[in-house]
Structure 1
Amino acid sequence: MNNKTQSAEKSGHATLENAGRNRQAACDLADLTHEMSAACPDETGALQKISANILPDPLSVMIVGQVKVGKSKFLNGLTGRGGLLPSDVNPLTTVLTHLHFNHTPDRQSGADFHFYNSQEWQALTQPDASEPKQIHEHAEQLVSRAQTRFGNHLPDLLGATHQFNPVTPEVLAQYVSSGQEGAEQYDDLIRAADVCFSTAPFPGAIRFTDTPGVNDPCLIRDKITWAAIGDADYYLVILSAHQAMSRMDESLLKVLKEKGSGRAVIFINRIDELSNCIRDAKLLQRSVQNDITRIFGGAPAAVLCGSAQWAHVAETGEGTDAVREKAEAWVEANPTLKRQFETGLAKGEHSEFYQEEMAVSRYQALVASGIPQLRRFFSKILLTRFADLNTEEQVGEVLEIAERHLSSVRKVTDDTSDVQMDVHVDEVILDEVGICLEEEQALLALQLHEDIDALRGELVAGYGASDPSPSAEIAADPEAEIPLPDELENLRLNFISGIQSVKLDLIAGIQHSKEGLCASFPDFLPLQKTETDSSILRRFSPDARILWREAAAMAQASWTSRLFHRKHTRPSADAVVNELLEAAETALLSHTDIVFRHYLAAISGNLPDEVSKASDNSARILQAETFVNALRELQKNIDINPHKMDQSQ
């Protein structure tokens, strides 16, 4: 590898590294801003203004292709929602269906189904005289079917929105698919559907739009799809391996060139149905790429091939032995896929995805499907959109608001501190509760220390152990940081996993302590009514920056001679692991203290009269302090570049 190539790779890693840190900071800041908006009503306007610019706009991807080419089943596989969208032999998607992932903090589940309003319904069902005769016939059929189903209730439905939370495959089939009949089958009346999800295999907000498809026998649905083209960032064109680049496909691509605002990504589906997929799919991929270059006057963003059916096997576990064998043969015949599969097995990804005896087979079907390649393609686009975000400035602005809010609630407390308050019997009990909480917190601290010690032994014992996780594969993952040496990457993964387990045990211990208090003070109602707020612990992410500091040292000295020479192995392992765990334990203890203080203050806030007012102020102070501390921690993480390498190397 020449110096120019190395320099380009290093620059690319630095861009992704910066984007990754910006992404995490932006997501954390978005969550904090959302929480603060509810807790700081006087600052809502300022927070909303900042919130609108924290995260990049969602990446919009429209799925287009001929009808029945397998778009819905493919989209189920791409988003990891096997069986969500209707995709059997009979159902047809008849509605523009927008799937929103990582949408907004306040909307992470459920679905909205928007009916045509009166004007839109009239325009759809009364086409112009210039329209083809078949359009008019289909419009008449649409009106007749709607009147049969809904009768006099039809006007009441027009302009309405039906909302569901959660949304099920059965509900989606009822609203977006023509595959079933019934009095409450609404697909003919639905203009668009919006379905929201909290998580996705993508590092940012993304919206996929499933379309009815072109060349639909129902010309009205065909017309809807053609009209939708023009407002997406990317068009994911699904071609069938049986008839890729037919006349209709060429017509679609030419319209995308003329009307489409984004770039085209081509996915050749159903290669599993080819008689010799290993030979024919590669030839087909090359042929399609040449055709796309001819139509667009340049190479497409990507031309990939695979099988939505293999993705369906991976997601649901359904599929015949013949289907699985073909997926295995496809992976074995492609060195890149084979390396990805073997690396995933070495990392245990198959066990993370699929907890059953067919895990290896299902994981192999996923790799064969082409879905992971496409996910990485869109993930890299999403990640690079974070690279130019000025998160440092945004965190500073939100921190100013948090500090202003903290000063405000402290002033309220100071103004009421001279008020003479009556002593209630509840205050005596509250003192006893406070003592019990201190004891519970001390016990949890001891348990935490024991858990950290146990984890320390595991990490030191596994430090430097063989773990085939090639840095080339890590670098290929757009969500990964700049690659670490294998030993440090193995340690990082084990450290994060171990701390996650310790954190969950700690949260469970806090809840157990609360339940014990309620049993000890059965007549003290504030205990029963008040919940512990462990959100600061749930958001906690351990600091692993020392590992990149060690990686930087690797550029200056031989890693093998410096750390893994026999007489130096144990002290170096102890030093690295101890620094990681000491920082994590200190942070977890600090966060636990905030949770207990907030809980005690919240209990106090349920007391009556002036005591209640003062205690409520105390709870607000603790909450405001939590915001300030979290933002300062976020600011500190942004200010320090943990991956800065020696530029002289």
Structure 2
Amino acid sequence: METEAATLFQEHRVGEQLQSVKASLLGLLHQLGSLSDGALKERLGPVEKRLMENQARVAVIGQVKAGKSSLINCLIRKPEFLPSDINPWTSIVTQLHFAHPSGQTSGAIFRFFDEEQWYQLATRGGRLGELTDGLLEDYKSEQLFDQVDAMRERAKMRLSDKFEALLGQSHKFNTINSEIMSRYVCAGDCPDTPVKKSVAGRFSDITRAAEVFFEQDPFGCPMCIMDTPGINDPLLIREEITQQSLETADYFVVVLSAHQSLTNVDLRLIRLLKALNQDQIVVFVNRVDEVTASADELEKLRKRVVGQLRRELNGKEVPVILGSAAWADYALTENDEYLDPDVLQDFVQVCGLEEQVEKSTPADLVNAEMRASAYVASGLPKLEEALSDMIYHKAAATDLIEAVTDLENLSRQTIEQTRVRIDNLIREDANAAPILTREEKDQLVILARAQIKSVFKSLKVSAAEGWEELQADLAFTINGYSDNYYETILAEIADLKRGETYQCDLDPLRETLREHYTLAFEAIRNSLVDEIVILNQSLGAEFCEEIRDHMKAVRANTWFLGTLLPKTDALYRTVSLDLTASWLNGLLGFPRGKIRQAVDTASKQFRDICSEMVGKGRSDIETAIERLMGEYIDDVSQHLDVFSEQGKDGKVHTNQENRTRKRTMQQSSNDLETAEMLVETLVEIRSMLEASGGAK
């Protein structure tokens, strides 16, 4: 590859805008931490950690042979790094880390299965089973177990006496290349034969996970690009692991093939993302270089996909990009193995891309115009732009606004604390006592802590009542649906003709339960936020007026609580075989009691799912409340501390003490000016973020 091409053909550094705002916030955070002799450093530590460890996690997902790995190779500007020509028989997700929070910027770690993990994979146990049960028909469960067993046996054959020793272990490399990668993530040409040490696929069946580390380039912020096995894969294991990756990613590139539109398999995947509240999606329709459709027909395809996604995602507009990883690869490497210049030029001309090609054509590059045509037509620049916008807007609505709110609150507190310090210095000049003695301050801290804890305890009690009502409502809905569904089954079975199979459709119940749970979760969350806002306004009402006015600067940051979302993916698990087609094939021979029993069994499973879902939502919100209460108490305690500072009880000051006091007064004045400037800057940043989609 010509190294300069990777730089020349890059209009958008994904995440650059996000990183710019993060850098600004970190700079302001350090300024704030330097005030008041560094008194806020400990309190600012968690805010800094959240900003520093923020990593955009992008999963590239889609059906087999859609070209996911080839597209990733172009996106990361490392053509041929991920194996893309060999059928990847391994069942892993490969995580490519760019500027990992740990600081590691090279090498790789390949982690191996242990016996328990193999068992969980075979039985669909643990979180994996919870997430994926609704996506596979039950008759495939036995097939999945057989495939895991086959993986294990192949690994034994390939590794012989080393097999047992490798279980649960990992291989680490200080440097990494495509040949090493292929040993762990490819099976080679024949997966059922022994593999020599240096040949692709030697460790493929035993590898559970792969992590590879790079510098931040070519991205503008820390990124994790996740290459996933395909959905709708002949090997169900690969599909299982792909589904698991959905919960660990924040953003998704769904890769479709131009040879087919959005299929039922793709729509099922979109629905699961929706249930996980994962609607940060870009769709890339790949391989347009391989189809004979006209540009108009391709545009109709694109619009059809846009419309389908809009319906699935409640009106949300999802970017849908037409492109070709093969064209992007040619632009970066001049590898013309899969290039048909006539098809490329026709596409550029019909789509009206000539002007953009002219702007993108670099000087002094071999075949510059043709490669610029391929780059523009590939859709890669549009994909990078869409990714960058999506990452920034989501971060603006969550992580960045949370950090801004924290910094703004602490800056306002610093302003009030600095004013109190200045007042105390003036009092000291007049030989007056501070506003509070230390004993009085300690009493107020105790009083404020008690008030905060009392309010938060009350919040938990009221929220607990809400969760109990929600669980009862969900159970009532399930029972009512079951009664109606029982009658429906009887009526529909009576109308069946000989040879027909009865199909059970529980999706209406799933959607009803999802809607009920979502509305109730949001109502409980929003009620808690409202109550904490009232606490902000009423805290310390019994304090003396001077202290009470200063206390107005202390505010609990409810932003992160308000951004918690309900997760309903558990509803999409498969409910037992009692209501599947295979059981109902012989249903006409069963008495009505058997049908009732089947419906009741399904109802119990839905009640259990809802109970678990309510418990998880309750735990998430209570964890957020505990964090918020701890930070609030710390802020109040520190704020009250300044009221008992300084004061010499009428002592006559020496010249040295006077000079020290003068320097302290000057420093406090400077701190006050800096803190006021920080508030102004943070307010401007908040307005910018809210205008970018972060308003709540």
Give TM-score scaled by structure 1 length. Answer: 0.51
* Contact 1:115–1:189 (CA under 8 A) maintained in structure 2: yes
Aligned equivalent of 1:281, options 287, 294, 298: 298
C-alpha spacing 1:161/1:19, structure 2 compared with 1 (3 Å): closer
Aligned length: 380
Aligned equivalent of 2:208, options 167, 173, 191: 191
1:221-257 Cα deviation digits (max 9, x unpaired): 2222223333322221111111122232222222222
2:360 — aligned with what?
A: 344
1:95 — aligned with what?
A: 92
* Contact 1:72–1:93 (CA under 8 A) maintained in structure 2: no
Q: CA deviation at 1:198?
A: 0.9
The equivalences for 1:84-233 within 5 A come to 84-91=81-88, 94-104=91-101, 106-125=103-122, 132-180=141-189, 182-184=195-197, 185-233=202-250
C-alpha spacing 1:151/1:361, structure 2 compared with 1 (3 Å): same
* Contact 1:79–1:201 (CA under 8 A) maintained in structure 2: yes
* Contact 1:126–1:139 (CA under 8 A) maintained in structure 2: no
C-alpha spacing 1:317/1:192, structure 2 compared with 1 (3 Å): same
Q: Distance in 2 between matches of 1:27 and 1:174?
A: 41
1:541-590 Cα deviation digits (max 9, x unpaired): xxxxxxxxxxxxxxxxxxxxxxxxxxxxxxxxxxxxxxxxxxxxxxxxxx
C-alpha spacing 1:105/1:191, structure 2 compared with 1 (3 Å): closer
* Contact 1:265–1:300 (CA under 8 A) maintained in structure 2: no
1:22 — aligned with what?
A: 21
Aligned equivalent of 2:255, options 231, 234, 238: 238
Q: Distance in 2 between matches of 1:81 and 1:204?
A: 18
1:105-145 Cα deviation digits (max 9, x unpaired): 72222211111233102333567997533223322321210
* Contact 1:328–1:368 (CA under 8 A) maintained in structure 2: no
Q: CA deviation at 1:55?
A: 3.4
C-alpha spacing 1:103/1:28, structure 2 compared with 1 (3 Å): farther
1:422-454 Cα deviation digits (max 9, x unpaired): xxxxxxxxxxxxxxxxxxxxxxxxxxxxxxxxx
Letter in 2 for 1:249: D
Q: Distance in 2 between matches of 1:118 and 1:97?
A: 21
Q: CA deviation at 1:390?
A: 4.5
1:479-533 Cα deviation digits (max 9, x unpaired): xxxxxxxxxxxxxxxxxxxxxxxxxxxxxxxxxxxxxxxxxxxxxxxxxxxxxxx
Kindly indicate whether structure 1 or structure 2 has the higher relative contact order, using CA contacts under 8 Å at least 6 residues apart: 2
Q: Distance in 1 between matches of 2:80 and 2:355?
A: 29
The equivalences for 1:84-483 within 5 A come to 84-91=81-88, 94-104=91-101, 106-125=103-122, 132-180=141-189, 182-184=195-197, 185-259=202-276, 261-320=278-337, 322-335=339-352, 337-345=353-361, 350-351=362-363, 356-384=365-393, 385=395, 388=401, 390=404
C-alpha spacing 1:86/1:44, structure 2 compared with 1 (3 Å): farther
C-alpha spacing 1:242/1:219, structure 2 compared with 1 (3 Å): same
Q: Distance in 2 between matches of 1:138 and 1:200?
A: 39
Q: CA deviation at 1:48?
A: 6.5
Structure 2 unaligned residues grouped into runs of 5+: 1-14, 32-39, 126-137, 415-677, 685-696
**Secondary structure of the residue that 2:387 maps to in structure 1?**
helix
Letter in 1 for 2:101: T
2:610 — aligned with what?
A: none
Q: CA deviation at 1:49?
A: 4.9
- Say which is worse superposed, 314-323 or 153-162, in terms of deviation: 314-323
Higher alpha-carbon Rg = 2
Q: CA deviation at 1:308?
A: 1.1
1:49-94 Cα deviation digits (max 9, x unpaired): 5641333621222111111111110111122221111001544563
* Contact 2:347–2:377 (CA under 8 A) maintained in structure 1: yes
Letter in 2 for 1:102: A
* Contact 1:61–1:206 (CA under 8 A) maintained in structure 2: yes
Letter in 1 for 2:368: A
C-alpha spacing 1:272/1:25, structure 2 compared with 1 (3 Å): same
**Secondary structure of the residue that 1:108 maps to in structure 2?**
coil
Letter in 2 for 1:222: E
* Contact 2:22–2:51 (CA under 8 A) maintained in structure 1: no
C-alpha spacing 1:212/1:27, structure 2 compared with 1 (3 Å): farther
Q: CA deviation at 1:277?
A: 4.2
The equivalences for 1:30-109 within 5 A come to 49=46, 51-55=48-52, 57-91=54-88, 94-104=91-101, 106-109=103-106
* Contact 2:348–2:354 (CA under 8 A) maintained in structure 1: yes
Q: Distance in 2 between matches of 1:101 and 1:195?
A: 9
**Secondary structure of the residue that 1:187 maps to in structure 2?**
coil
**Secondary structure of the residue that 1:88 maps to in structure 2?**
coil
Q: CA deviation at 1:373?
A: 0.7
Q: CA deviation at 1:28?
A: 8.0
C-alpha spacing 1:227/1:17, structure 2 compared with 1 (3 Å): closer
Letter in 1 for 2:384: R
* Contact 2:246–2:273 (CA under 8 A) maintained in structure 1: yes
| Aligned residues: CA RMSD | 4.2
Q: CA deviation at 1:310?
A: 0.9
* Contact 1:109–1:196 (CA under 8 A) maintained in structure 2: yes
C-alpha spacing 1:262/1:246, structure 2 compared with 1 (3 Å): closer
- Say which is worse superposed, 236-245 or 294-303, in terms of deviation: 294-303
Q: Distance in 2 between matches of 1:204 and 1:244?
A: 33
Q: Distance in 1 between matches of 2:157 and 2:141?
A: 25
Q: CA deviation at 1:270?
A: 0.7
Structure 1 unaligned residues grouped into runs of 5+: 1-15, 33-42, 401-634, 642-649
C-alpha spacing 1:134/1:381, structure 2 compared with 1 (3 Å): closer
Q: Distance in 2 between matches of 1:218 and 1:264?
A: 26
**Secondary structure of the residue that 1:114 maps to in structure 2?**
strand
The percent identity for this pair of structures is 30
* Contact 2:18–2:391 (CA under 8 A) maintained in structure 1: no
2:604 — aligned with what?
A: none
The equivalences for 1:540-579 within 5 A come to none
1:474 — aligned with what?
A: none
C-alpha spacing 1:310/1:157, structure 2 compared with 1 (3 Å): same
**Secondary structure of the residue that 1:236 maps to in structure 2?**
strand
